[in-house]
Structure 1
């Protein structure tokens, strides 16, 4: 009788433990472990819970830092042609700015992730130095008139940006653990919000299309070509190769046109300094020491097969994130250049469509705060990945046939479909493969940097050598690859789920047999 009671008790305990494990992965599509507080309780806790109020305050500072990070990201695309004008270089050589930024991003993610985990510096002090240094670096960029200096400063810029991205994501994990999905979505919404505001704030200070050497795709002289045909004189973008054979070509120094891009870059520096100050205050009052999160004992599956599957799933998602980030950053970074070179838009028009794309991106990130409470990460990745595939296909066709309204519609739709995949991919990874700690977040950012490292020089060469339409071809092909990687991850997650169910049943059977004997 005593043995039966003991078995019953053990069975109940084991059943509860199994339910805790299986509930996270019982359905790859529909599982949603998030439990969110309503608005009333949030305000109550802010008013009465001192520790929660400190966490919330620090979270707002992190969100502000990502607003700045997104601002810099959104500002780079519209100003990229003007940065090429400042150093008098071609699209192919100018694409090295993207590559060097990514190299710095990779370096910053590795180094700052190590400093963050080892606590060599106080985490709030580290955040202050990263944001403030980011701002100072941005302010220097417009004054680098030499190509080599411009390349070097973009490495430094990327280092600060990668460090900020890594520490921001890891910092939120430290504060909230697995219960901060809504705050995590808000963090990435702030990034998108900054990216939509920046092009609008930058546009008034950009030079008109005919006052700059924006499209030097086939120009190796780094200057304007003043083309004269018969009695009609006009300023021509060098990409019009067919007219060059009948034109008298003379050079006009780009130095005759003054760039004002230093003004929005100085505003960006001021924004960085402003958002860095809360972290300096937190460091001075030692806020971080009171927010150490207790370690939670996770139920681990020690089977070698499960471990291998989890690693395989994690690697799949790391590659997925790398290609996804490459697509998103390339689309936003080259959109203005593509619109000017292929569609013959002005720089101002290119800035507006970039801003609209970021607006849709920000809208999707904002809605993602609520979506994560309703839909499972697996289903959200599938739906938004499919939308991204359709939108880039539509953008390709609309650009090919010069359907302007189609270009606008599908650019906006592409921005919306790209919005929430990154944070949701992190949630899906934690739910099915590995817990997203600071180290895991750093690995994701490193893989993202490596993925984006290849795209700009490859795309710049393809657009320079063949046609600007390779902007559409390359991104669409990479989106197809994203879909294949998603299904590979889904298959791996399903195998892990089935393995858990079988292991739970076997262990219960063995326990029952031992008790009966």
Structure 2
């Protein structure tokens, strides 16, 4: 039985300020309760269950699912990071060198790229919650089996699918989280567009609705920033969990399986992923989440039809073509923006230690690892900070500030890497802070401007970033040993290109918004 949504009529004023769109929630509740069968025909147990369902409003449902998705992201981050500290032991398992085992990283990246596209296709035809449960289980399985394979081919295939399921989970959860906390803005925008601008009371209502819409988008941005923080937290937990087991001497094989000191880190990571899938499955059984955004998309697409129903069909089709042109252009630019930005983020996170050891300071490997860790620590820590910053700043302001910080950090690295280790560390800290909130701000930004991030759109945008992350190591890796400053130069190039894409995208969104306002005003004054 689908979840029934009900708001407290006695506390409408309080709830309205606390959580956006409770009035819309109440409307949905009334419509859906009318479609329910007569409760007198139900058994006492089913009636009790229906009463339990009706008492859960959308705010409570969103909070419950948000907590569960945060936990799943910790588990996925843990499973993704458990490989790095165990590479040496894995090379012993397969009787090869570290470079051969490291092939799993590009294979995982390719798997991630494939997983982003498949996710959009599957979500079109299957229930998202069930898919997420399946993908989390498969992610846990491909993590658990890593130390149990007996040859490199099995190990490589497993790495590909491990990356595949990682991307599927990440894209799905990102779109879902963004949908849960900003879907009401789409309905509010439709109400605003349908109100008579000449009516004074309606204008006051528009102001109130716009205020609520902005608060909804801020909440979407807050939860998205926190979501990525929990993924980063999981990547920190990976080495911490592996370290106690790896301190023990390598014990060789036992019945074609690796000794317990290597099996346990992977087993613990898999257990966390399994428990996260179990929590989502339990909620699917008792309080299933409905993808209401699909209804909002249809409502949004039909808005133009309602506004121009008095006009001829040819004009209506022309306006729809313009609308689609703006929409596809914005989504394309968003994908290109993420690709250009992801290039700089991926290269710095992967080659920061190599850069430290190649510049004139000539840091030792342990020193280079220590200095580069300031980038990783800053990157994760500021993701937590950005969740609080998002309470005050809109997504577009956060992205602009992030880019300014990235440029300043990159300039510090450029001018001080050869002479001042403190300047290099400060530059890395600023880069980590700038990188921290760009990606989680993009989906809420699109929603804020009226472009619904569906599963397909989320997959396409994320796919473009994934392609950049696959290509970046090959491009930079060819030059980093001979020309270490290629890392800084390519970062400048990618950030400048991303800024151009972002500026064009923002101008298109402004033009599209102005176009819609002009069309609405023409209709209202007729």
TM-score, normalised on structure 1?
0.69
Structure 2 residue 131 is matched with structure 1 residue 126: yes
Structure 2 residue 444 is matched with structure 1 residue 427: yes
Specify whether residues 335 and 151 from structure 1 end up closer, same or farther in structure 2 by C-alpha distance, changes over 3 A only. Answer: farther
Shift of 1:67: 1.6
Which structure has more relative contact order (CA 8 Å, sep 6+)? It is 1
- Work out whether residues 406 and 434 of structure 2, in 8 Å CA contact, stay in contact via their aligned partners in 1: yes
Structure 2 residue 390 is matched with structure 1 residue 384: no
Specify whether residues 201 and 323 from structure 1 end up closer, same or farther in structure 2 by C-alpha distance, changes over 3 A only. Answer: farther
Q: Equivalents in 1 of 2:156, 2:411: separation in Å?
A: 33
Pick one of 156, 174, 185 that aligns with 2:225.
185
Structure 2 residue 430 is matched with structure 1 residue 413: yes
**2:169 aligns to what?**
164
Q: Equivalents in 2 of 1:372, 1:261: separation in Å?
A: 40
Structure 2 residue 118 is matched with structure 1 residue 100: no
Structure 2 matches for 1:43-58, cutoff 5 A?
49-52=55-58, 53-58=60-65
Pick one of 511, 518, 522 that aligns with 1:495.
511
Deviation sequence 1:151-188 (CA, Å, 0-9, x none): 33321111110111122123335544254503333222
Shift of 1:370: 3.1
**2:48 aligns to what?**
none
Deviation sequence 1:37-68 (CA, Å, 0-9, x none): 279x9xxxx99942443432222111111122
- Work out whether residues 327 and 478 of structure 1, in 8 Å CA contact, stay in contact via their aligned partners in 2: yes
Deviation sequence 1:449-494 (CA, Å, 0-9, x none): 2221211222222235x34443333333322222222222222223
Q: Equivalents in 2 of 1:145, 1:474: separation in Å?
A: 40
Shift of 1:306: 4.0
- Work out whether residues 192 and 358 of structure 1, in 8 Å CA contact, stay in contact via their aligned partners in 2: no
Q: Equivalents in 2 of 1:36, 1:480: separation in Å?
A: 40
Structure 2 matches for 1:233-382, cutoff 5 A?
264-283=265-284, 285-288=285-288, 295-296=295-296, 297-298=299-300, 299-300=303-304, 302-339=319-356, 343-346=362-365, 352-353=370-371, 355-382=373-400
TM-score, normalised on structure 2?
0.68
Number of residue equivalences = 418
Q: Equivalents in 1 of 2:498, 2:91: separation in Å?
A: 31
Structure 2 matches for 1:460-479, cutoff 5 A?
460-463=477-480, 466-479=482-495
Deviation sequence 1:412-460 (CA, Å, 0-9, x none): 2211111111121112222336211222112222222222121122222
User: What do you get for the CA RMSD once the two structures are aligned?
Assistant: 3.9
Gaps of 5+ in 1: 1-34, 212-257, 512-517
Gaps of 5+ in 2: 1-15, 23-51, 186-215, 250-258, 306-318
Specify whether residues 403 and 134 from structure 1 end up closer, same or farther in structure 2 by C-alpha distance, changes over 3 A only. Answer: farther
Specify whether residues 431 and 82 from structure 1 end up closer, same or farther in structure 2 by C-alpha distance, changes over 3 A only. Answer: farther
Pick one of 115, 118, 132 that aligns with 2:122.
115
- Work out whether residues 379 and 432 of structure 2, in 8 Å CA contact, stay in contact via their aligned partners in 1: yes
Q: Equivalents in 1 of 2:72, 2:84: separation in Å?
A: 20
Structure 2 matches for 1:191-210, cutoff 5 A?
191-202=231-242
